[in-house]
């Protein structure tokens, strides 16, 4: 008998029919002997609808009250799913985050889970009940309702699994696993049977939006066995692993890309201590995240910087940089928001040379100019003109043999 935490996302519980379908599946697994804790999201579209309501009455959306409002989305689903379960003879109980003591810090809208008291859940499980828990919400020290950020139900599920020492945490969603790249761009993209947690973190942060990134970090920290599966079709999904067991794994597990970037360049700044701090610090102080950073070698006592930011921050960053350029007497500031970042990701890179070289050759053969490059132990990223996105991803996918038979990771 296994203890399983399952999480169903908004689409999976998006209508009464779908809620009943989830109930049937859960009841069948309980009948087969497993103990089940089920974490659910709000019905699809509901969180956005609530946000619109809040905006309509007060565009400032006071964070404490917004969390009280948004938490109702998940509260609706736990009640409906528990009713559906009871309706088919499966004993079930619903709990809000507060009721199962999902203690968080007090950062409304992006709270972090600090502690879960699983005693109540355990006692229900012992009595043969299915426990249905509201995702995305918690309670701070003073009893205020908090929420964990968009997509936060994934994190609730992983945290519940960690607190209960569950045998597996299964995230049911509208895709059947993690793919080598986005199938909308490369139809031959293939589901991975397994992927290491490090690769998953790179893929997620780079735009393969299957799991909330924080849930993956959480799973990594507590080594929670985590699996992504489809709620609409049977299949093994993708298992997130913590060891590189298979030495013969593929060099590259996947290709991620991010269309939401823009790049900025400042040329001819003094080549002296404190300049990077001043330029990048000024951007960070405005709460703008900087992703890639490239500094050129100095020449005539000056140097150049190029960095990327989220496209939504482009105008603001350009403005700030232009002001800094005046203070620093820099030569010029330029920018481009028609770029994309493409990354090849794989733990296999650690033990193999020449991966970056292959990537550059593939892009060269396609006549694609590389504007920026950055590397980590398990990833090589390039920035190219956005018009080459499809071409580049397809060429790389094929060059690294990702459409082959055996799934790796």
Does 47 bind ligand ASP (CB under 6 A)? Our answer is: yes
**Looking at 136, 172, 179, 218, which residue binds ligand ASP (CB under 6 A)?**
136
Residue 49: strand, helix, or coil: helix
Does 6 bind ligand ASP (CB under 6 A)? Our answer is: no
Q: Report how far apart, in Å, the C-alpha atoms of 203 and of each of 156, 238, 323, 325, 350 are.
A: 21, 13, 35, 35, 17
- Give the per-residue contact string, 212-231, with ligand ASP (x = CB under 6 A; - = no): --------------------
CB of 13 to ligand ASP, least distance (A): 10
| Residue 388, token pair as written in the block | 């080459």
Does 41 bind ligand ASP (CB under 6 A)? Our answer is: yes
CB of 200 to ligand ASP, least distance (A): 17
Q: Which of residues 9-28 bind ligand ASP (CB under 6 A)?
A: 9-10
- Give the per-residue contact string, 7-46, with Mg ion (x = CB under 5 A; - = no): --x-------------------------------------
CB within 8 Å of 113: residues ≥ 6 apart: 102, 103, 104, 138, 148, 155, 156, 159, 218
Cβ closest to ligand ASP, residue 42 vs residue 262: 42
**Looking at 135, 177, 335, 346, which residue binds ligand ASP (CB under 6 A)?**
135
**β-strand partners of 380:** 344, 375
Other CB atoms closer than 10 Å to residue 204's CB: what's the count?
20
Does 314 bind ligand ASP (CB under 6 A)? Our answer is: no
User: 254 touches which of ligand ASP, Mg ion, none (CB within 5 to 8 A by kind)?
Assistant: none
Which of the stretches 40-48, 86-94, 193-201, 242-250 binds ligand ASP when contact is defined by CB under 6 A? Answer: 40-48
Cβ closest to Mg ion, residue 9 vs residue 97: 9
The distance in angstroms from the start CA to the end CA of the chain is: 29
Other CB atoms closer than 10 Å to residue 358's CB: what's the count?
17
User: 150 touches which of Mg ion, ligand ASP, none (CB within 5 to 8 A by kind)?
Assistant: ligand ASP
CB of 159 to ligand ASP, least distance (A): 13
Which of the stretches 18-26, 41-49, 55-63, 382-390 binds ligand ASP when contact is defined by CB under 6 A? Answer: 41-49
Which of the stretches 2-10, 117-125, 155-163, 337-345 binds Mg ion when contact is defined by CB under 5 A? Answer: 2-10
CB of 150 to ligand ASP, least distance (A): 4
**Exposed / middle / buried, residue 208 (Cβ in 10 Å: 0-12, 13-18, 19+):** buried
Overall residue count recorded for the chain in this entry: 409
CA–CA dist 363, 103 (Å, integer):
49
**Looking at 14, 97, 138, 152, which residue binds ligand ASP (CB under 6 A)?**
152
Does 97 bind ligand ASP (CB under 6 A)? Our answer is: no
User: 152 touches which of ligand ASP, Mg ion, none (CB within 5 to 8 A by kind)?
Assistant: ligand ASP
Does 150 bind ligand ASP (CB under 6 A)? Our answer is: yes
Nearest C-alpha neighbor of 167 from the set 223, 125, 216: 223
CB of 7 to Mg ion, least distance (A): 9
Instruction: Give the distance from CA 286 to its chain's centroid.
Output: 24
Q: Which of residues 125-164 bind Mg ion (CB under 5 A)?
A: 151
**β-strand partners of 100:** none
Instruction: Read off the DSSP letter of residue 129.
Output: P
Does 73 bind Mg ion (CB under 5 A)? Our answer is: no
User: In whole angstroms, how large is the CA radius of gyration of the chain?
Assistant: 24
Q: Which residue has the tokens 């105008």?
A: 315
Which of the stretches 18-26, 148-156, 251-259, 346-354 binds ligand ASP when contact is defined by CB under 6 A? Answer: 148-156
**What are all long-range contacts of 176-179, with beta carbons under 8 Å and residues at least 24 apart?**
176/229, 176/230, 176/233, 176/235, 176/237, 177/228, 177/229, 177/230, 177/235, 177/236, 177/237, 177/238, 178/203, 178/208, 178/210, 178/228, 178/238, 178/254, 179/208, 179/254
Q: Name the site residues for Mg ion (rule: CB under 5 A).
A: 9, 151
Q: Name the site residues for ligand ASP (rule: CB under 6 A).
A: 9-10, 41-42, 47, 73, 135-136, 150-153
């Amino acid at each position: 008998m296994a203890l399983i935490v399952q999480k169903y996302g908004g689409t999976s519980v998006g209508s009464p029919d779908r809620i009943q379908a989830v109930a049937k599946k859960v009841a069948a697994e309980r009948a087969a002997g497993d103990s089940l804790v089920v974490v659910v999201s709000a019905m699809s579209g509901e969180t956005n609808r609530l946000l619109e309501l809040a905006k309509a009455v007060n565009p400032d959306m006071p964070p404490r009250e917004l969390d009280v409002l948004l938490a109702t989305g998940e509260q609706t689903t736990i009640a409906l799913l528990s009713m559906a379960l009871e309706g088919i003879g499966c004993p079930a109980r619903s709990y809000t985050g507060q009721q199962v003591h999902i203690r968080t810090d007090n950062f409304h809208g992006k709270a972090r889970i600090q502690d879960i008291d699983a005693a109540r859940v355990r006692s229900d499980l012992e009595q043969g009940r299915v426990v249905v828990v509201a995702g995305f919400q918690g309670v701070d020290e003073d009893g205020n309702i908090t929420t964990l950020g968009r997509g936060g139900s994934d994190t609730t599920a992983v945290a519940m699994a960690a607190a209960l020492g569950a045998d597996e945490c299964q995230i049911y969603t509208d895709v059947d696993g993690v793919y080598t790249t986005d199938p909308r761009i490369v139809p031959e993209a293939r589901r991975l049977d397994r992927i290491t947690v490090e690769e998953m973190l790179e893929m997620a942060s780079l735009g393969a939006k299957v799991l909330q990134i924080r849930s993956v970090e959480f799973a990594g920290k507590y080594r929670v066995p985590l699996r992504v599966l489809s709620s609409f079709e049977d299949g093994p999904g993708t298992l997130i692993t913590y060891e590189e067991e298979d030495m013969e794994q593929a060099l590259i597990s996947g290709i991620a890309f991010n269309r939401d970037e823009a790049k900025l360049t400042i040329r001819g700044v003094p080549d002296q201590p404190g300049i990077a701090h001043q330029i990048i610090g000024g951007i960070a102080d405005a709460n703008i995240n900087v992703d890639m950073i490239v500094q050129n070698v100095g020449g005539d006592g000056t140097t150049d910087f190029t960095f990327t930011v989220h496209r939504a921050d482009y105008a603001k960053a350009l403005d700030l940089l232009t002001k800094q350029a005046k203070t620093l007497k820099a030569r010029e500031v330029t920018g481009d928001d028609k770029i994309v970042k493409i990354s090849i990701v794989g733990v296999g890179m650690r033990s193999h040379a020449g991966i970056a070289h292959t990537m550059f050759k593939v892009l060269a053969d396609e006549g694609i100019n590389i504007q920026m490059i950055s590397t980590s132990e398990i990833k090589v990223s390039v920035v190219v003109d956005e018009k080459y996105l499809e071409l580049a991803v397809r060429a790389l996918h094929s060059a690294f043999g990702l459409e082959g038979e055996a799934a790796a990771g």
